[in-house]
Amino acid sequence: MANVLLTEKCVRSCPYCFAKEHMDSSALPQLSWDNLMYIADFLEISGERKISLLGGEPTLHPQFVDFTTYLIERNFHVHVFTSGIMSTERLLESQKYLAHFTTEKLSFTCNLNHPDISTQKETEKINKFLFAFSHLTTLGFNIYQEDFDFEFLIQVINKYNLERHIRIGLAHPIPGEVNKYIPVEGLKKMARKFVSYFDLFERFTISPGFDCGMPMCIFTEKELGRLFKLNKGILKFGCGPAIDIGPDMMVWSCFPLSNIHKRSLYEFNSLQEVNRFYKDLHAKIRNEIGGIYTDCDTCKYRLNEVCMGGCIAHILNHLYNEAPVRIKEIYS
Amino acid sequence: MTDHILVCPFNEKLLDKIKHNAVIINTRDFKNLHHIHREVNKSNTLHAIKIQTETPLAAISFQESWIHLPLIIYSPEFGDYKDFSHQLDLIRKLNIRIFLSSQHDFNFTGLRILSSLNISCGLFFNEEPINWDLLNDLMHYDIYGRTRHAPIEPFHWLASQYEPAGYTDYSSVYFNNPVKYLHINEKEQIALTETDLLHNNYIDEGVNALETIGENKKYIDFLNRRYEIMLQMNECSFCPAFRICLAKFQNLTDKNNTCKIFFSDFMDAADYYFSKRNNTEKNIWQL
């Protein structure tokens, strides 16, 4: 699957935003029709039928609806990552042209922040979006500090009858930059807080699925068992190259790493080639340091790829700060 | 009866006079398409109905009842994709080819959109300057594009008809090749091309003249002189791509940065397409 950035503008300014570095630096603000069609052809040639649209806030792109319907017409499954915050005009337009699709063609992940850090106006807009697109939407939440609250997410799921799933992301460090994230030594504490919601998840039959970069060993065997059951057997502790394509046709693997190993999409003939390139690069880094913990180097679960040893951005961040000469060698 | 396909307006008297011919009807509105289809087929064979509209493509209301009509739409611009997208399923069912003007840059993108959505389409040129880079990109997409897509004219036609040893005239795409098409108006005035008809440049008059058009002096002159420009000392006659361009852009002052580059690339593409067309036999090493 490839993630395509429609625009680099955003309506929010989240303290943890691991995309911030990229948003601030790029010159081209939004994807053109011609680039979209090139990407669609590129993915089709690669045999890939899934595409994620993100940003910034993808719905800010003036052709958001056009692009989405075009891609669906090209037989792609389109997944949109949104804050749900959009103008009334865009919401009405989206409702008119997109709301009739089923989840086989189109789905949304609405990334929510805790109401305490959202304005009243933002919350109202999000509610309108959730009301209109409840049948296509799953919630997403990014954990960026050891203490956090999930209860409001459960209330939102119940209120709008959303899919009973929460996509849980971990905020990651941007190597060489400043953003909010949980340091490696705080992850176990974060896990305790997370586990404290298991009863609630079970009661409301909600599956908490992990996005990338979550290490397995922050949970006990018993907790892993409960997680396994909560997620109906689908449990991932991965950190694979997620391929992001920018509006300027630059490609990189994962937002936090966007400022260190960008390439042009035109350098590759297929998505498989892109994946191979970044997989090799990740392997090179992980040969240097296996994972976020010292034990990761010899951990059988990491070696068997049951767990990838946490987010590679932590490793790069460490190298960036502690061994800048070595990072230059890796990328030379 | 003539071997030519006749291009004419919808006029029942005229159609009655040119019985038993293949006919292309020129019209400007969408109202009478069924009536045209029915009436033409009474005594002639309807080859196609060419609708020249001022309405942007996306604003045209396509009809389910057009399914069996052979249609060509000439529209000045693509319009808003959203308005167009909800009609896609219907358009794909129609016997239709959509042409957009080279006047607007977005039309080049529009044609790529149509092609990628499996709708046969093409570009028509008007008197506005052409964006040669965009034209070249579109040609590359049509000929070299690796994903499934519908033909874009005139590229597809030219590439599929191209013979390296001869001339290929893509005017046929616009019904302006007098070897195959002739234009006739209500007054029964006959011209070689649509432009000639508009400029009162007739070769003959009266439907009876169609029977003996092969003996018409102006027609014979045209056949004899159509490649004459290649014998003159001018830039076109030295251009490597003259065999497919046939000096259609001889009035351009700066050919080196415009048509010459494009048609040279286009000829490479036509050669590539030709070799692809003819190299279907697999050569296996011999024992």
Q: How confident is the model at residue B278 (pLDDT cuts 50, 70, 90)?
A: confident
A323 phi/psi in degrees, rounded to 5: -140, 65
- Indicate the pLDDT class of residue B252, thresholds 50, 70 and 90: confident
Q: In this predicted model, what pLDDT tens digit does every residue of A219-256 receive, in sequence order?
A: 999 999 999 999 999 888 988 788 999 999 999 987 77
Q: Does B81 touch chain A (CB under 8 A)?
A: yes
Bridge-partner residues for A165, per DSSP? A207
B113 and A37 within 8 Å at the Cβ level: the answer is yes
Give how far B147 is from chain A: nearest CA, Å. 6
Mean pLDDT of B52-72: 95
Contact assessment for residue A142 and residue A171, using Cβ atoms and an 8 Å cutoff = yes
Task: Give dist(CA A223, CA B207) in Å, integer.
Answer: 91
Average pLDDT over chain A, rounded to whole? Answer: 89
The strands making up A207-210's β-sheet, listed across from edge to edge, are A207-210, A165-170, A137-143, A106-112, A77-82, A50-54, A2-5, A243-245, A250-253, A263-264
Q: Go through A161-184 and write b for each residue having 16 or more CB atoms within 10 A of its CB, e for each that does not.
A: ebbebbbbbbbbbbbeeebebbeb
Nearest to B183 by CA among B40, B7, B28: B7
Alpha-carbon gap, residue A178 to A17, rounded angstroms: 10
Q: Higher model confidence: residue A327 or residue A104?
A: A104
How far is the alpha carbon of A63 from chain B, nearest alpha carbon, in Å?
9
Question: Which range has the worst mean pLDDT, A25-29, B66-70, B184-188?
Answer: A25-29
Beta bridge partners of A307: A237
- pLDDT at residue A316, rounded to an integer: 82
Asked if the interface predicted TM-score (ipTM) of this complex is over 0.85, the answer is yes
Res B8 pLDDT > 90: yes
- Which two tokens mark B252? 């351009």
The upper half-sphere exposure of residue A75, i.e. CA atoms within 13 Å in the direction of its Cβ, equals 12
The two tokens of residue A219 are 């949970």
| Distance between CA atoms of residues A28 and A9, nearest Å | 10
Tell me the pLDDT tens digit for each residue of B17-42: 998 899 999 999 898 899 999 999 99
B85: which chain A residues are within 8 Å (Cβ-Cβ)?
66, 69-70, 73, 97
The one-letter code for the residue type at A220 is T
pLDDT at A64 over 90: yes
User: Is the pLDDT at A329 greater than 80, yes or no?
Assistant: no
For residue B230, what pLDDT is reported? 77
Q: For residue A21, what pLDDT band results from cuts at 50, 70 and 90? A: low
CA distance A37 to chain B (A): 8
- Is the CB of A41 less than 8 angstroms away from the CB of B147? yes
Residue A58 DSSP one-character state = G
pTM: 0.91
CB contact under 8 A, A69 and B85: yes
For residues B154 and A178, give the distance between their C-alpha atoms in angstroms, rounded to a whole number.
Answer: 55
Probe site for chain A from B86, B92, B137, B147 (most A CB atoms < 10 A): B147
**B146–A97 C-beta distance less than 8 A:** no
Q: In chain A, what residues touch B113 (CB-CB under 8 Å)? A: 33, 37, 70
State whether A69 and B147 contact (CB < 8 Å): no
Cβ distance of A69 and B145 shorter than 8 Å: no
Report, as an integer, the average pLDDT of A99-109: 96
